[in-house]
Amino acid sequence: MNPHSLLAALPGFAIAPHAIQVLPDAAAYRTCLLERIASATRRIVIVALYLQQDEAGQEVLDALYQAKARRPSLEITVVVDWFRARRGLLGAGRQPGNAAWYQAQRELHGLDVVIHGVPVQTRELFGVLHLKGSVIDDCVLYTGASLNNVYLHRFERYRLDRYHLFDCPALADAMVDVVQRLLHHTATPRLDLPDAPPTRRLRGDIRRLRARLRRMLYDAPAATPGQGLRVIPLLGVGRGNPLNRTVCALLAAAESQVIISTPYFNPPRLVMREIDQALARGVNVELIVGHRTANDFYIAPGEPFSASGALPYLYEDNLRGFARRRQAAIASGQLQVRIWNDPGHTFHAKGVWVDLRYSLLTGNNLNPRGFNLDLENGLLIDDPHGQWLAPRAQELAGLRRHAPLLTSAAQLGEKAEHPKQVTKLLRRLRYSRLEPLIKRVL
């Protein structure tokens, strides 16, 4: 099937332009989330990589318990990654993890705010719950953000993401349905209750869960000729899944413009091939990538170093090599590379825009891990008649605000300028020939 036919055949939901709202920043999202929780009357389903024990996380969990206390019939389910909830922060030593906090909060309030942990693989290294999209009554709140101080801009620092609201009951029902089918009484244990089983006891259930996930799809109406604005939900885990195929089809279908935003520049071969083929067709390609200091793994000079602190430099090396090999396209303006950097803040916005028709929202980092290991999803906005161009352009302008154009790969500096600890670690990876494997699981 050619890419245009594949995209035209995707099932999705008709939606009015005014039913899709774009929030401008993390602070606006935090305000909206808390207001929607407070006004919920029927159901709340929160889906995130993690709900962190900090001030912003406490604010969200307090809001959920307060909503439940006001309306006992309100159904509240929180879904987070199993492994992330049961360990501490990277580089912070041994910690009990957020699960202990969930249990303490349940004991304190005595109310049924259900929190499930989802193990997508038997080890965190090989796959996590990267599903996005929460539902409050009939509204879908779609963002790549997790729930903590920096993602919600609780204090001085923020991590920029994308924030969309869809007032579409049918889409909300479809996304809740997938969450309900995802949850399993043994494979996705409750984290708010004591005595959660060790992961080793779940291994068989996890393997069966992953096999079931590979077959799972959103339930959406079939496409019909002549449809207007639609939103298309996509689910993906493992190679060749519907989300991966759609990303590649979008890039292959591009006729005039492709825009890709990712905080971590480590494209899988399929995506790199489609980028190069788009350039060969004469398509204008724009990349929006976070500066190494805007990476959430960045460790500032003088702070204790850990191995994860080398990741921003590895991503920068990838981008430098990519830009050098395509310097002619950069010089002609056909390839635009933007480096997002608002000092003191971090960047986490992901997505694909093609021509003036398609806008893909996703938590997928468009890297080998997202394409092969994690449980991912996305919402594709198909706008064949240009009904939603103004909000689209406004969001892109916001993403470009702190992202000046790169005029040459030389602006990214040289590997020789890396801190000594980073240089030593990356050299060891290359000499041990582990670098390709490491890139596949980052």
Q: Which residues are catalytic?
A: 130, 161, 348, 376
Query: Under 8 Å CB-to-CB from 415, ≥6 apart: which residues?
Result: 317, 320, 423, 426
Answer whether 151's CB lies under 8 Å from 49's CB: no
User: How far is the C-alpha of 394 from the C-alpha of 202, rounded, in Å?
Assistant: 46
Answer whether 30's CB lies under 8 Å from 152's CB: yes
Residue with tokens 């056909």: 334
Classify residue 72 as exposed, middle or buried by CB count within 10 Å of its CB (0-12, 13-18, 19+).
exposed
User: How far is the C-alpha of 104 from the C-alpha of 173, rounded, in Å?
Assistant: 31
Specify the amino acid at residue 72: P
Sign of torsion over alpha carbons 402, 378, 210, 244: negative
Q: 242 is written with which tokens?
A: 């519907």
Give the three-class secondary structure for 4. Answer: helix
Backbone angles phi, psi at 261, to 5 degrees: -120, 130
Give the three-class secondary structure for 214. Answer: helix
The torsion region of residue 85 among left (phi > 0), alpha (psi -120 to 50) and beta comes to alpha
Classify residue 195 as exposed, middle or buried by CB count within 10 Å of its CB (0-12, 13-18, 19+).
exposed
Question: What DSSP assignment string belongs to 254-274?
Answer: -SSEEEEEESS----HHHHHH
Answer whether 272's CB lies under 8 Å from 243's CB: no
Q: 128 is written with which tokens?
A: 């996590």
Short-list 96, 73, 72, 70, CA closest to 85: 96
Short-list 213, 34, 193, CA closest to 129: 213
Answer whether 77's CB lies under 8 Å from 44's CB: yes
Answer whether 193's CB lies under 8 Å from 147's CB: no
